[in-house]
Amino acid sequence: MLITNLPGRNAAVRMRSWRALKAAGAGLMRDGAYVLPSSEQSRKTFGEQVLEITAAGGAGHIVSFQATSAEQHKSLVGLFDRSGEYAESIRQLDELKSRLGTVTELDARQELTAVARTVCAIVARDFFPGESRRQMQSALADAESAINARFAPEEPSATRRHIDRRNQKDFRGRTWATRERLWIDRVASAWLIRRFIDPEARFVWLKRVKDCPKRAVGFDFDGAEFSHVASKVTFEVLLTSFDLERDPGLVRLGALIHHLDVGGIPIAEGPGLSTIMAGARTLQSDDDALLKAMTPVLDALYAGYTNSAPR
């Protein structure tokens, strides 16, 4: 618990403190008394506010405590209820889905990105997740699926099978084929193939998957050699197939691609990558140019994830 006392004339400091504590997800018990679940981050958040408040001539105290009864615990947890915020985001997604026939792909994906960014902020301060978060995750996945069905049809369906280990030597200098008009999973998979599996890869972008060349290695379409399996998207299937899952940077990138392709718990970088991808797809004339434009973006994400991975 943070207990504060600020002289009335320090309105600016009071407002900055209130905004910072609200952004951190602190629960308000009464004026000047805030609570957060016990953690190092909570103590750091409250400590920063104590420093600012005392520098302005006020007083701040941090008190650790435990609930003395189940009823008090329930009351405290209720201070962190985010169901109303999730409900508003779900309403926005429902409204977006109702307008998909009248908006452009870029506008639709930008609106989805904006909602996803808001949801990421809610998740960051949702200390006691429950059914409302699960409903939110489902709503995001449904909206993503609706947008893909409208603007990126023929998304592959997941199969139930064992993912065999493959030898990279058998896939060098090959022609790889996937559906044209690349989106997140396909562009990231193409990047992964050329970066880690087949540096000499040549790509064919298919208008119709039935026109896939017989000797080409298909990916991310129904019947392809590499596509969705169970809960894994194509990027993750490639990681497993070529024993790349020991690379923490690729695993983190795979989680991001999974979230953007089929939904799940929002990842902070997701809205930004989705916006960049939608903009690049608008600007580039063909899929070769699109892959070239997205390659440095994915290189940078991979480098960032690798450098920040635990050692």
CA gyration radius for the chain? 24
Are 67 and 95 found together in one domain?
no
Q: Is 163 inside any structural domain?
A: no
Q: Is 187 inside any structural domain?
A: yes
Are 90 and 193 found together in one domain?
no
Q: Is 42 exposed, middle or buried (0-12, 13-18, 19+ CB in 10 A)?
A: buried
From CA 295, how far away is CA 288, in angstroms rounded? 11
Are 298 and 251 found together in one domain?
yes
Q: What is the pLDDT of residue 163?
A: 94
Q: Is 156 inside any structural domain?
A: no
Cα torsion through 289, 293, 298, 300, rounded to 10: 150
Per DSSP, what are the bridge partners of residue 2?
34, 62
Are 270 and 183 found together in one domain?
yes
Are 68 and 107 found together in one domain?
no
Are 239 and 198 found together in one domain?
yes
Q: Is 175 inside any structural domain?
A: yes
Give the chain's domain count. 3
Are 90 and 138 found together in one domain?
yes
Are 184 and 294 found together in one domain?
yes
Q: Is 157 inside any structural domain?
A: no
Q: What is the pLDDT of residue 268?
A: 84
Q: What is the pLDDT of residue 310?
A: 54
Q: What is the pLDDT of residue 83?
A: 96
Are 189 and 271 found together in one domain?
yes
Are 193 and 288 found together in one domain?
yes
Q: For the chain, what's the residue count?
A: 311
For tokens 């602190």, name the residue.
Answer: 26
Q: Is-above-0.75 flag for pTM?
A: no
Are 296 and 194 found together in one domain?
yes
Q: What is the pLDDT of residue 153?
A: 67
The string of DSSP codes covering the chain is: -EEEE--TT-HHHHHHHHHHHHHHTPEEEETTEEE--SSHHHHHHHHHHHHHHHHTT-EEEE-----SSHHHHHHHHHTT--HHHHHHHHHHHHHHHHTTTTS-HHHHHHHHHHHHHHHHHHHHT-SS--HHHHHHHHHHHHHHHHHHHHHS--PPPPB--------GGGGTT-EEEEESS--HHHHHHHHHIIIII-TT-EEEEESSGGG--TTSEEBSSTT-SB--BTTB-HHHHHHHHTT-TT-HHHHHHHHHHHHHHH--S--TTHHHHHHHHHHHHHH-SSHHHHHHHHHHHHHHHHHHHHHTS--
**Which residue among 78, 104, 119 closes a domain?**
78
From CA 244, how far away is CA 236, in angstroms rounded? 9
Q: What is the pLDDT of residue 109?
A: 85
From CA 311, how far away is CA 224, in angstroms rounded? 36
Are 276 and 200 found together in one domain?
yes
For CA atoms 147, 149, 151, 155, the dihedral sign is positive
Q: What is the pLDDT of residue 225?
A: 96
- Domain housing 88: 83-151
Residue type, 132: S
What residues of the chain score a pLDDT lower than 50? none
**Which residue among 55, 78, 101 closes a domain?**
78
Tens of pLDDT along 288-306?
999 999 999 999 999 999 9
Name the residue among 154, 117, 110, 111 with its Cα closest to residue 282: 110
Q: What is the pLDDT of residue 158?
A: 73
The pair of structure tokens assigned to 64 is 């650790």
